[in-house]
Amino acid sequence: MGDQDEMEYIDDQSLIPRWTTVGHQPPPFDSADPNSHWLAFVEYAAGWPLLAVFCRFDTRYDLPTDNTYLADVHGGIALDRQLWPKPTPGAIWIHGTLPDRGALPYWPIWPGFVVNSVFYAVPLLLLFHTPLWLRGRMRKLRNRCPACGYPIGTSAICTECGYQLLRIST
């Protein structure tokens, strides 16, 4: 993807998506290390056609060295630390050129997760169900049992497999 330095930042809080943890949970704080404290975090969401999963990259500020560094990833499996975003104090990243290989997110964004599941399930259902439906339809047109393909006689039940045939008596 693009360069990490070209991220888009916003100041308007109304543009923050509802799934984000910005403002919903206290910032992480490492009480074991008094020289290191929370500075900012970056949230990355993925999914198509809607965002379905997200993760958060935590940044820390080290007082003695005056250095900002990425400390951890939450809600995702860290893959390559070289691809993690560069932290910018006080900025909220919404959409831009964050690389998609820094972590594999797994925190769900439920509306997107449900819509994406249906979006992918319907074509798969049609892909696997349509040939079976067509096969049964062709067997009925050829006066054969839709379940096994055995020729239908005068019985209302298939004499080969026991399938209940729908017959309209005249």
**CA dist list (Å): 63 to 40, 54, 69, 87:** 15, 30, 11, 16
Rg, the chain, Cα only: 28
Query: Cis peptide leading into 64, omega within 30 of 0?
Result: no
Beta pairing partners, 83: none
Per-residue pLDDT tens digits for 84-116? 655 555 554 444 444 455 788 899 999 999 999
pLDDT category at 74 given cuts 50, 70, 90 is confident
Residues 153-169, buried b or exposed e (16+ Cβ, 10 A)? Answer: eeeeebeeeeeeeeeee
Question: Domain ranges in the chain?
Answer: 4-108
Q: How far apart (Å, rounded) are the C-alpha atoms in residues 139 and 148?
A: 9
**CA dist list (Å): 113 to 83, 84, 120, 164:** 25, 24, 11, 40
Mean pLDDT over residues 30-37, rounded?
A: 57
